[in-house]
Amino acid sequence: MGIAILDWVRRVLSGQSGDDIPEEAELAGLSIGGALQAHNAWVQRFETALKEGSGAQLDPEQVSPDNRCILGKWLYDPNTRERFETIPEFKALRDTHTAFHREASLVIVALRQGNNREAQLMLDKVKGKSRQIRVSLARLC
């Protein structure tokens, strides 16, 4: 593991954002940066939809499955599970990731119903799950 990745892990575990993940950050075949960027992109879509009052084009069925994104595919890969399933942080990561997708779909439902207050509350939960995912990944490194 390179110095830049170790520095990223240290920053994340000390409570800093960790948004500046090194490109080469990888964990057992998972591009950590790619996984985090994909989740951050959903957060950005939700924030834009909330600001613009548009959520009709978003589909909760597209975001709710937790096994379709980069991280989800890695989490459910048999080789990954065999390697990490006995590590408590892996289970915590999987559970948090599942909750991220479940709550993200609820953001969309609230946006489609025009309930911006509920959408913002759910978005805040999604952002919290996103931070927890980042911490869990750093701990697994």
User: Could you tell me the CATH number of the domain that includes residue 101?
Assistant: 1.20.120
30 has which bridge partners? 27
pLDDT at 73: 97
Tell me the average pLDDT of the chain: 91
Q: What is the mean pLDDT of residues 88-116?
A: 95
Per-residue pLDDT at 78 exceeds 60: yes
27 has which bridge partners? 30
DSSP-derived letter for residue 26 is E
Tokens 């509920």 map to which residue? 118
- 3-class DSSP assignment, residue 30: strand
pTM of the model: 0.89
Residue 116 is part of which domain span?
Answer: 3-140
pLDDT at 22: 76
Residue 32 confidence class, pLDDT cut points 50, 70, 90? very high
pLDDT at 25: 83
Q: Is 112 exposed, middle or buried (0-12, 13-18, 19+ CB in 10 A)?
A: middle
Q: Per-residue pLDDT tens for 106-140? A: 999 999 999 999 999 999 999 999 999 999 999 98
User: Based on the structure, what is the number of domains in the chain?
Assistant: 1
Q: pLDDT over 70 for what percent of the chain?
A: 98
pLDDT at 1: 55
Both structure tokens of 28: 């057992």
Q: Cα-flanking dihedrals φ and ψ of residue 29, to 5°?
A: 90, -5
